[in-house]
Amino acid sequence: MKNTYELAHVGINNEDAAAAAELSRLLCFMFNLEGRSGEKSEFAGSAFECVRSQYLGTHGHVGMATDDLGSAVDELAEKGFTFRDETAAYREDGRLKNIYLDGEFGGFAIHVMQK
């Protein structure tokens, strides 16, 4: 099965919470987006995740959403990609919510997520 993906967001690493908040405010102003605070990040709309620390990826990460995450993980594994199991997040019902691939791609980490 060939899964389909769409860009969910771009995650941008920051030095600290203040830098993440400042960048989020700037992106909201620039593109007329609504800001919100998350558990580990400040968001500018749904397009930008301003991470409050230096997390995975030299430059940050790219979030890719898909309709069937389990199938997508299987397909990516069949193509030879591996995953960082310690990054897996699960829903209350035990289904996988998101997970990062091993490595960097153009200086970015990539995580796949359930729509």
Give the pLDDT confidence of 18-69 residue by residue, as tens digits: 999 999 999 999 999 999 999 899 999 999 999 999 999 999 999 999 999 9
As to burial, measured by CB atoms within 10 angstroms (0-12 exposed, 13-18 middle, 19+ buried), residue 110 is buried
- Torsion sign (Cα): 71, 74, 77, 83: positive
Give the pLDDT confidence of 5-18 residue by residue, as tens digits: 999 999 999 999 99
pLDDT at 105: 96
* Domains observed in the chain: 5-114 (3.10.180.10)
Whole-number Å distance between alpha carbons of 29 and 4: 32
- Torsion sign (Cα): 77, 81, 87, 89: negative
- What is the pTM assigned to this prediction? 0.87
How is residue 93 annotated by DSSP?
T
Position 1 confidence tier, pLDDT thresholds 50, 70, 90: low
Could you give the angle at the alpha carbon of 102 between the alpha carbons of 41 and 96, nearest 5°? Answer: 65
